[in-house]
Amino acid sequence: MLNTDHNLGGWRFMTGLGRRSRLALKASIIVILLAGGAYLLRCFVQGISVMKHADMAYGATFRATEAVEKYVREQRKWPASWKDLESVSATGGTDFLPPGGWDEIRAYVEINFNLTLGDVAKQRVEDFDAIKPVEPIWGGYRAYFAPLLETVRSVQGAQRGSAKGPQDASQGPSR
């Protein structure tokens, strides 16, 4: 005779199994559900960690870029070290420092201190690499580089203009 008792809510689909087999199957299903839940929880926690890092990197990139821009404006050169940037914050307050200070910014941002203003002035926002966030980071951070590049190019242009010196009016314009 065919068994047609398939009530899943009461686990009756296992009526053809012995008592031990039913218990083993139930235990296996519970273990699988618990393992799946633990895996989903782990993924969720890992996702939160990645999002926190992205937030921190985003803020640190903004603050580092702001500090470099202020340094370039005041010192008329590209910073040579983190110490140079720390001197800017000492003179201008700590309005751009995160709660963890410069250590926090260093953890999330890399700055190439081996460049000159001329090197940086040649870069474009799209491929700017003088300041790099430690990824992962939220998109849109490159917008911070445009004002910095404007400042670098302005200072670079002013330095070039002053290096030429005043033109002798008696010679007229050069041709």
CA 141 to chain CA centroid, Å, is 8
- E strands along the chain, which residues? 109-111, 131-133
pLDDT surpasses 70 at 107 = yes
Mean per-residue pLDDT, 27-35? 89
> Quick one: average pLDDT of 41-56?
79
Question: pLDDT higher for 96 or 115?
Answer: 115
Task: Give the least confident one: 61-65, 80-84, 168-172.
Answer: 168-172
> pLDDT tens, 64-81?
998 999 999 999 999 999
pLDDT at 89: 66
Can you give the pLDDT at residue 78? Answer: 95
**pTM strictly above 0.85:** no
Taking the C-alpha atoms of residue 157 and residue 159, their distance in angstroms, rounded to an integer, is 5
**pLDDT computed for residue 76 by the predictor:** 93
Q: Identify the pLDDT of residue 171.
A: 42
Per domain, the residue ranges of the chain are 50-161
Q: Supply the pLDDT for residue 96.
A: 59
Which residue, among 148, 78, 85, 154, has the nearest Cα to 114 in the 3D structure?
78
CB 66 within 8 A of CB 79: no
Higher per-residue pLDDT: 169 or 3 = 3
Instruction: Report the mean per-residue pLDDT for the chain.
Output: 79
Candidates 4, 148, 167, 144; CA nearest to 60 is 144
Chain centre to alpha carbon of residue 118: 26
